Amino acid sequence: MTTRLNRPVGLRLRRLGLPGMVGVGLWVMAATFFFSAVLPEQKRLEAVRLSADSLHERIERAGSRTTARERPAEEQLAEFYRLFPDERDTPDWIGKIAATAQGCGLSLDQGEYKPSRDTAGKLTRLQVTLPVRGEYRQIREFLARTRVAVPIASLEQIQFERQKISDPLVDAKIRLVLYLGASS
Contact 101, 142 (CB under 8 A): yes
Domain count, the chain: 2
For residue 73, the model assigns a pLDDT of 83
For residue 2, the model assigns a pLDDT of 47
Please give the residue range of the domain that contains residue 19. Answer: 1-70
- For residues 107 and 138, give the distance between their C-alpha atoms in angstroms, rounded to a whole number: 11
**CATH no. for residue 104?**
3.30.70.60
Last residue of a domain, one of 13, 35, 70: 70
Tens-of-pLDDT digits for all 184 residues of the chain?
A: 445 556 777 777 777 788 888 888 899 999 898 899 888 889 888 888 888 888 788 888 776 665 546 778 888 888 888 888 888 888 999 999 999 999 999 988 889 999 988 777 788 899 999 999 999 999 999 999 999 999 989 999 999 999 888 888 999 999 999 998 876 5
**Do residues 88 and 66 share a domain?**
no
**Do residues 61 and 120 share a domain?**
no
The one-letter amino acid at 22: V
**Do residues 50 and 106 share a domain?**
no
Last residue of a domain, one of 18, 43, 70: 70
Domain-embedded: residue 41:
yes
Domain-embedded: residue 34:
yes
**Do residues 15 and 48 share a domain?**
yes
- For residues 135 and 138, give the distance between their C-alpha atoms in angstroms, rounded to a whole number: 5
Length of the chain equals 184
Give which of 164, 107, 163, 168 is closest to 136, Cα–Cα. Answer: 168
**Do residues 94 and 175 share a domain?**
yes
pTM: 0.58
**Do residues 28 and 97 share a domain?**
no
**Do residues 51 and 92 share a domain?**
no
Contact 172, 160 (CB under 8 A): yes
The one-letter amino acid at 165: I
- For residues 169 and 136, give the distance between their C-alpha atoms in angstroms, rounded to a whole number: 7
